Structure 1
């Protein structure tokens, strides 16, 4: 008698429902990035396989299911771009319709939106002082002196908040399963 071992399906993640809700959108995202229907299908399949395997780490209080799935897809697409750059000869084995140079494709609107969602979710997970320092200096591009004066803290304190805030942001993104 042969028994197949399968991981237990988590109670809080309904993969078929998640696929029905987000699969087509993930496919279009992957297809626009890769330009290859087969590769896009493979990416979507791998997204849901990884989601199923690590469903226990999904916490809907930290990120929405959509954001989590798109973060997984983004990581897979980055890996695919790196693999293509490391082995350019493999592009000759396919039809070569999308990648005819060695540079990675420019991020499109969808990828920038996913990146923004991921950063927004990660920013929610860090302290308010660190979040304010990062938002004002990095995202809004304001001078440290102006932000420090507005917050009523010395410039050195603001720089420390930015430094430690970025470390906390990186950790939050890693906890979300995103490679910063």
Structure 2
């Protein structure tokens, strides 16, 4: 019994393959020309024809009709597929190009110049002020942690940080940084 079901399935699959091949031979080329006439897109026409043939194959009543009726049904389906593609959001957002553009890489020139500018301004500070500013802003230490690391009182850290930032602001303004 299992052998009979496999044989029936093979027969049904071969019938489907024959029907699909006959459908393709009879209608693919005219439908393709029609779609190319509508869109001007040869590659896109292949996709539309494939979908049209698939829909015809899935609709057995179409295959049982007169071939001229089947073809006009396929032209209508193809036209609707083209219209749907034109109306789709994907089509409105896509822009075809001959070559894929290179990926843009952010320019690091401005960041480099800013780093050099800050480095020069920091070099203009006294050693004490520069040390507190670097510990606070580049190492992220709290006032208490800076006091321990530099072995100075917290009040002195606060004072040096205040005056160090004022001197840094002045040094940056002298180098053309405004504000």
TM-score (structure 1 length as normaliser)? 0.40
Greater relative contact order (Cα < 8 A, sep 6+): 1
Structure number with bigger Rg: 2
- Structure number with higher helix proportion: 2
